[in-house]
């Protein structure tokens, strides 16, 4: 244990995680995914786990409550073993694409029940393809909402004697503008938290403030309105 209270293991032999049977939570295999950076595929203290994956301690506790991770005890320290480090790579990848937690639970249960590495790879691929279809549907909805906002703006202009209706300016703080830019690029809140080095709760509050300022119902409408106002690029 270091002076910072973190647990370190022997130097890693490889940064890449290889599929392996579950060690504590039942039989099964995991898809082949790389570790994020130079972390050992051995044991990690909760602080090191949080730093490695760019999440908060609260997030890890939440995953434990949902049955996705299980921490061990090593003396006074709570540590994650090799299997839970591997599981976290899958969980974190799913959260980066904003997969709902219930779907992640179903995916991890399916991986626990699978009987080969090929099965695990296929299950994960199916889950990614399903999420891709969901995101494509959301993108289609966003385009329709942008079109509708354009129509409403044109109607407002026509109702003002043909002159362009005045649009109230929206004032964003630098941190709100940065968050909005990431939202426009399609990053989910947990990914934005990592990019901005902020707590997930703080980012969710920031997004809520942005949505309120644009006087819309959710983040997709806020981005659509921001594009139409020229506050973010449509590309």
CA distances from residue 135 to 41, 54, 92, 142, 205 in whole angstroms, order as listed: 32, 23, 18, 10, 23
Residues 6+ apart with CB under 8 A from 39: 12, 15, 48, 52, 85
Residue 229, beta-bridge partner list: none
Report pLDDT for 160.
55
Q: Smallest Cα–Cα separation from 109: which of 123, 99, 96? A: 123
* Residue carrying the six token digits 């991986």: 111
Contact 22, 81 (CB under 8 A): no
Domains and CATH numbers, the chain: 1-141 (1.10.1660.10), 167-228 (1.10.10.10)
Looking at residue 10, what is its pLDDT? 34
Mean pLDDT by 10 residues, the chain (235 residues): 40 37 58 83 87 90 94 88 93 91 95 93 95 86 78 69 56 91 87 88 91 88 85 70
Handedness of CA 35, 38, 44, 50 (dihedral sign): negative
The CA-CA-CA angle for residues 81, 84, 89, to 5°, reads: 130
Task: Give whole-number Cα distances, 163 to 148, 151, 154, in Å.
Answer: 20, 15, 10
Token pair of 227, please? 């594009």
């Amino acid at each position: 244990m270091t002076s910072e209270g973190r647990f370190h293991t022997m130097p890693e032999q490889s940064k890449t995680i290889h599929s392996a049977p579950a060690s504590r939570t039942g039989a099964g295999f995991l898809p082949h995914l790389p570790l994020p950076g130079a972390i050992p595929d051995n044991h990690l203290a909760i602080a090191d786990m949080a730093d490695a994956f760019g999440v908060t301690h609260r997030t890890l506790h939440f995953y434990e409550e949902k049955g996705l991770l299980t921490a061990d005890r090593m003396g006074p320290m709570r540590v994650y073993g090799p299997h839970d480090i591997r599981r976290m790579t899958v969980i974190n990848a799913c959260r980066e694409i904003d997969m709902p937690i219930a779907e992640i639970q179903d995916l991890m249960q399916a991986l626990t029940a699978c009987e080969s590495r090929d099965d695990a790879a296929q299950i994960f691929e199916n889950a990614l393809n399903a999420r891709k279809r969901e995101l494509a549907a959301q993108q289609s909805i966003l385009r329709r909402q942008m079109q509708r906002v354009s129509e409403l703006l044109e109607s407002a202009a026509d109702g003002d004697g043909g002159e362009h209706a005045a649009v109230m300016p929206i004032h964003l703080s630098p941190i709100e503008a940065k968050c909005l830019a990431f939202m426009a690029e399609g990053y989910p809140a947990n990914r934005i938290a990592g990019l901005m080095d902020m707590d997930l709760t703080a980012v969710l509050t920031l997004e809520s403030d942005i949505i309120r300022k644009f006087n819309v119902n959710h983040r997709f409408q806020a981005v659509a309105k921001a594009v139409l106002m020229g506050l973010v690029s449509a590309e």
